[in-house]
């Protein structure tokens, strides 16, 4: 079961990131450029369309994680699409793609499809290409489809509960959410997946973004001495997950970043820094976090909002991490520069 869950989560995480990252990296920048160069609207629309392919992408990546055959892998992808909730039928009878679906139900459907195709194995022989996709739709796909209303309701309730609690205690919850996402970004779990599963939005999403910013900037600074400049920048421009192995072996290396995340998350509650379920898991990558804050903030690109954006997403994370790293490396000597060495071999 442990190995099964590990492969499933790995496939889901990769699929979520692959489907969402084009819009995450380009979406906000394109929104700024489209008024001046309208043809870019087509590229923006394509990134939105790509997001709706998340269920198929997740299903295929799960199939690859389990080393299934091409036919089995494609069948898992189709089943995941059926149970995703992405496909909707309009009043005119037209089938459309809407949103990214319910990620937790996509994962459940993909898991059922994997178990189903493994159970069938090679029993279908030459008829596999004819029957496997059809049976995958009829059995695991339809089970996922039947579970969809319940999953929509439950994930909606979780998101509403987090949003309600955050509105009551924005400072405390902002700090807690930021610390959670600061740690999760260093684990073999998708922050984007978690944010989209619970539909994290508002101050909660803004705090989550700042938690990832704290991890990325802090690890970039701390790892500079042990790695090249390019590797250090990957923590910010790419993902802090490249420190996952080091973190799992020595969790104390993240203490300065977690403290920084708590401060930034509390500021998210104080300053009403907001985000969306799709932006919450990316941090500074593609400037998703800061640009979403500006777009959602009252007044848009006002001097005050720009000052808040620069201070919370850049200046304070640098100052806090530098100060805390000095304390934990030089004074307390709990952490060493070599603890952040990244080995790509």
| Strand pairing category for 95-97 and 87-89 | antiparallel
Give residue-wise pLDDT tens across range 85-129: 888 887 788 888 887 888 788 989 999 999 999 998 888 887 888
Query: In the prediction, which pLDDT does 190 show?
Result: 66
Count CA atoms within 13 Å of residue 188 on its CB side: 10
The stretches in the chain having pLDDT less than 70 are 155-156, 158-159, 188-190, 193, 238, 344-345
Q: Is 95 helix (H, G, I), strand (E, B) or coil?
A: strand
Give residue-wise pLDDT tens across range 50-63: 888 989 999 999 99
State the Cα–Cα distance between residues 101 and 311, nearest whole angstrom: 35
Query: In the prediction, which pLDDT does 335 show?
Result: 92
% helix, strand, coil for the chain, step of 5: 75, 0, 25
Query: In the prediction, which pLDDT does 312 show?
Result: 96
Among residues 128, 144, 304, 315, the alpha carbon closest in space to that of 213 is found at 315
Q: Is 90 helix (H, G, I), strand (E, B) or coil?
A: coil
Q: What is the dihedral of CA 302, 307, 312, 313, to 10 degrees?
A: 80
State the Cα–Cα distance between residues 48 and 234, nearest whole angstrom: 25
Whether pTM > 0.75 for this model: the answer is no
**Beta bridge partner(s), residue 89:** 95
Taken in order 7, 123, 80, 115, the sign of the CA dihedral is negative
Among residues 79, 72, 70, 63, the alpha carbon closest in space to that of 15 is found at 63
Query: In the prediction, which pLDDT does 210 show?
Result: 95
Strand residues in 139-178 grouped as ranges (E): none
CB 260 within 8 A of CB 324: yes
- CA 198, chain centre distance (Å): 11
Q: Is 73 helix (H, G, I), strand (E, B) or coil?
A: helix
Parse the chain into domains and list their residue ranges: 2-155, 169-340
Q: Which residues of 150-177 are buried (b: 16+ CB within 10 A; e: fewer)?
A: ebeeebeeebeebbeebeeebbebbbbb
153 contact partners, CB below 8 Å, separation of at least 6: none
CB 255 within 8 A of CB 323: no
């Amino acid at each position: 079961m442990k190995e099964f869950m590990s492969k499933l989560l790995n496939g889901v995480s990769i699929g979520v990131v692959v489907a969402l990252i084009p819009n995450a990296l380009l979406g906000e920048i394109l929104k700024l450029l489209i008024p001046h160069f309208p043809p870019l609207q087509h590229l923006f629309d394509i990134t939105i369309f790509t997001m709706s392919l998340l269920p198929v992408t997740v299903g295929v990546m799960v199939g690859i994680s389990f080393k299934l055959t091409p036919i089995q892998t494609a069948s898992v992808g189709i089943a995941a699409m059926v149970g995703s909730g992405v496909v909707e039928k309009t009043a005119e009878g037209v089938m459309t793609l809407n949103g990214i679906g319910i990620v937790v139900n996509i994962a459940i459907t993909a898991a059922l499809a994997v178990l189903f195709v493994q159970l069938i194995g090679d029993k279908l022989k030459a008829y596999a290409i004819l029957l496997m996709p059809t049976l995958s739709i009829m059995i695991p796909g339809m089970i996922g489809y039947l579970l969809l209303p319940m999953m929509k309701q439950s994930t909606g309730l979780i998101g509403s509960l987090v949003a309600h609690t955050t509105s009551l205690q924005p400072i405390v919850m902002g700090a807690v959410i930021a610390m959670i996402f600061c740690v999760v970004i260093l684990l073999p779990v998708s922050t984007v997946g978690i944010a989209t599963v619970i539909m994290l939005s508002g101050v909660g999403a803004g705090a989550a973004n700042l938690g990832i910013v704290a991890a990325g900037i802090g690890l970039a600074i701390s790892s500079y001495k042990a790695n090249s400049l390019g590797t250090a920048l990957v923590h910010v421009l790419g993902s802090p997950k490249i420190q996952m192995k080091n973190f799992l072996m020595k969790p104390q290396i993240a203490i300065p970043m977690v403290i920084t995340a708590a401060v930034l998350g509390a500021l998210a509650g104080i300053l009403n820094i907001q985000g969306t379920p799709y932006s919450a898991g990316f941090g500074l990558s593609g400037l998703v976090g800061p640009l979403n804050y500006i777009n959602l903030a009252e007044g848009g690109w006002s001097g005050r909002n720009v000052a808040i954006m620069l201070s919370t997403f850049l200046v304070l994370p640098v100052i806090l991490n530098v100060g805390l790293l000095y304390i934990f490396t030089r004074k307390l000597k709990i952490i060493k520069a070599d603890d952040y060495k990244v080995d790509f071999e």
